[in-house]
Homo-oligomer: A and B are copies of this chain.
Amino acid sequence: MAEKQSNKRQTILDASLILFTDRGFHGTPTSLIAKEAGVATGTLFHYFKTKEELIDTLYLEIKKESGSVLEDAASCGDSCREKLDNVSNALADWGLDNPRKIYFMQQFCYSPYISSTAQEEGVANFAFLTDLIRTGIKEGWLRDYPPELIRSIVSSALMDSVLMAARESDPRVQREVLKQSIELVLHGIVNE
Which A residues have a C-beta under 8 Å from some C-beta of B? 22-27, 103, 106-107, 110-113, 143, 145-146, 149-150, 152-153, 156-157, 159-161, 163-164, 177, 180-181, 183-189
Inter-chain contact A157/B161, CB cutoff 8 Å: no
Inter-chain contact B149/A184, CB cutoff 8 Å: yes
> B residues within 8 A CB of A25?
26
Query: 18 A-B contacts, Cβ less than 8 Å apart?
Result: A22-B112, A24-B112, A27-B112, A27-B113, A103-B110, A107-B111, A145-B180, A149-B161, A149-B180, A149-B181, A153-B181, A153-B185, A156-B157, A156-B159, A156-B160, A184-B188, A187-B188, A188-B189
Contact partner of A26 among B107, B113, B181, B187, CB < 8 A? B113
Copies in the complex: 4
Beyond the given pairs A146-B177, A153-B157, 12 more chain A to chain B contacts, judged by CB atoms under 8 angstroms and listed by A's residue number, are A24-B113, A103-B110, A107-B110, A107-B111, A143-B187, A145-B180, A149-B177, A149-B184, A152-B161, A156-B159, A186-B188, A187-B187
**Chain B residue nearest to A145 in the complex (CB):** B180
> B residues within 8 A CB of A149?
161, 164, 177, 180-181, 184
